[in-house]
Amino acid sequence: MKKAVVIGGTGATGKALLNTLSNDLSYQSVVALSRRKGTSLLPKVEICKVDFNHLEQSSVIISGDVAFSCLGTTLKDAGSQDAQWRVDYDYQYTFAKIAKESGISTLVLISSMGADKNSPIFYSKMKGKLEEAITELNFPSLIILRPSLLIRPETKRLGELISLPILNIFNKVGLLKKYQPISVEDLSKAMVKSVERYKTGTHILELKQILELV
């Protein structure tokens, strides 16, 4: 049985992931890193308070068999590109580096469709550079998922509320299929299943491959 450690467990994708892991018999324990103290109602899940600006101080709890990285914020919530970079890039890279140094063999990273280190778009460039940096850590098994628009429970973002119906219409007629929305529940299932499917090497999963795992 495996031990998992998760960064980003308080977000929509992270919450779905913790629920999926708690119900998976192949995992005996799950550690979720959080900025705040908390107690999980999910079996096998332990919430551990950490300082994300000094993750190295919590290296002892970043251990196990599989690390899941799904931390992220929006530019609006972060307040600036520098602040968003700190959350989406710095925190996740530091987490991955510590995980590798502690002997974790598998890292599953949520990236984004269109991730490209050479992109003129800030978000896509940030995600592409993170993918590159984490790849260079040389995990025995690295799985990078690039989902499209995420369907969250009770989504409140106006752009998502407008985009979802439009994208669903296009999907029904076979257009824009690569932009098909995916629920955070299905994405979390794909994350967990990918660990069993891809046991060695580096794998970048686009939306089609993600959906095949659901």
User: What six digits make up the tokens of 212?
Assistant: 């095949």
Q: Give the orientation angle of helix 122-135 with respect to helix 92-101, to 10 degrees.
A: 10
Pick the closest to residue 113 from 209, 40, 207 (CA basis): 207
* pLDDT less than 70: residues of the chain: 154-177
User: What six digits make up the tokens of 38?
Assistant: 């908390």
The structure's pTM equals 0.90
pLDDT of residue 171: 58
Task: State the CATH class of domain 2-150+183-213.
Answer: alpha beta
pLDDT tens-digit map of 17-54: 999 999 999 999 999 999 988 788 899 999 999 999 99
Residues 6 or more apart in contact with residue 83 via CB below 8 angstroms: 73
Residue pair 112/147 in contact (Cβ under 8 Å)? The answer is yes
What is the rounded CA–CA span in Å between residue 59 and residue 68? Answer: 15
pLDDT of residue 41: 87
Please state whether beta strands 66-69 and 45-49 pair in parallel, antiparallel, or not at all (unpaired): unpaired
What are the Cα distances from residue 211, in Å, to 15, 137, 183? 19, 27, 10
pLDDT of residue 78: 95
